Every structure is written in C-alpha cells, then in structure tokens.
Amino acid sequence: MHLQPSIVNQQSSYPAIILAGGFGTRLKSVINDLPKPMAMINGKPFLHYVFLYLTKQRISKAILSVGYKASIIEAYFGDKYLDVDIVYSKEEEPLGTGGGIKKAFQLVEDFAFVLNGDTFFDIDLKTLEEFHSITPTDISLALKPMQNFDRYGTVEMKGERIIKFEEKKPVENGLINGGVYFLNKEMLDRVEAEKFSFEKDVLEKYVSIRQINGKTFNNYFIDIGIPEDYAKAQIDFKNMFG
C-alpha cells in the first residue's frame, strides 16, 4: 500500500527533517570541533543557508536531528530561525542516519521531507512532493546528474523507479542520490532496530520489494564533506546569496 500526501496549497503543510548530527571528521583541519552543519561559510554556519532555502521553499517547520555538540546548534538557532519554527530531536548516542530519521519522525504526524545538514541541493520541494503524490511510490528521492566522479554511488533506474543502488566507483555520467527525500513515517516504523543506516538498511534493503522512485533535478548541488568542496562553497554561496 502506497501512502500518498494531500496537496493543499502552495505552502507545504509538511515539515523538513534536517540531519545535523554529523561529526565533520574529514573537515577537522578547517572547522576544528564544530558539528559539520555549523561549518562557517562566509561568516555564517552552513545550516543558515539551509534555512534560507527552507524559507524560500515556504517550509514553516523544521525538525533538527542533532547529536554531536547539539548545544552549539541549539544556542545559535533557538526555536525559530528565519520564519521557520524549530524543534529538536536529540540523540544521546549516534543512531546512524536511519536511526536519526526514525527518531525525528516521532515528532511528525505523517509525511516529511528529509534533508542532509551538510549538503545543499537547490531543488523545488513542492515538485518532489507532487511527484510523490502522483506516482505509486513509498519513498521519493531527488536525484542529481553528475559527470566524471568517484565520490558518490549511483542509482540504476527503470522509468521513474530506482531498481538498484550502485557502490562508489569512477563514473563518467550517472545519477546520484542528492540526499533529499519525501516519505511517510510508516516506512521507518518497519525497521525494528534503533541504530541503522537509512541508505543501507532502508534504501538498499527495500529497493527490490518496495517502490522507491527518483525525480531528477539538474540544479545546484554541493556536499561540504571534504575540504575542497567546503572551500568551493565559500565562493558559490557568496555569488548565490551575496
């Protein structure tokens, strides 16, 4: 049974879960001991730009899934930031991406967007929501076409359906998982574990038995997980946001 959202108006009635518990291990040389989403980009934490994006997308509520040094994030953003109401889902110990999303969904009624707090994919969330509502799917992913890369795994498609998640390897052209999802909380309720990976234990495990669809967006994308892209974000965001 595929659960479908109801499209009611231009402002999304669904919240965004933001995974903001990352350690930033590969960025230690440039961000010291900050949580990765708090890495400074032109004097503002990366999460600031995520909230600018959510405001533009007319998202009125965000659930921040936090863990490592959560107090730094909470002290900066409080319970409202740039017209977005914020609640916190706090991990006492690392739960993995899947465990973090599942815990955050306890604060959600049914559907939610899910975003990574250390990537920026400038897609239209309403388009992803509508895609989910008109296709028979359990999870909808935003996909990004890329060229000449080896840092990301790719997806294999059959029409709109993802049929396989490929491991990381050198690729000339391919579609990657852009880290933006739309789904219902019941998908996570199926996983009994408390600590698990969303990518491995949900997407890869269920890809052949549940409908997981992908919508391609050829929009701006950056992942600040390595120093080179962190430096690139400084330039890109100055041009994008002034």
Spell out the domain ranges in the chain: 16-241
Mean pLDDT of 193-217: 95
pLDDT in tens, 146-188: 999 999 999 999 999 999 999 999 999 999 999 999 999 999 9
3-state secondary structure of 18: strand
pLDDT tens string 85-141: 999 999 989 999 999 999 999 999 999 999 999 999 999 999 999 999 998 899 999
Tokens matching residue 214: 């992908």
* 62 phi and psi angles, rounded to 5 deg: -130, 140
Question: pTM value?
Answer: 0.92
For the segment(s) 16-241, the CATH number from 3.40.50.10490, 3.40.50.300, 3.90.550.10, 3.40.50.620 is: 3.90.550.10
3-state secondary structure 65-86: EECCCHHHHHHHHCCEECCEEE
| Look-up of token digits 């391609």 | 216
Share of the chain above pLDDT 70, in %: 90
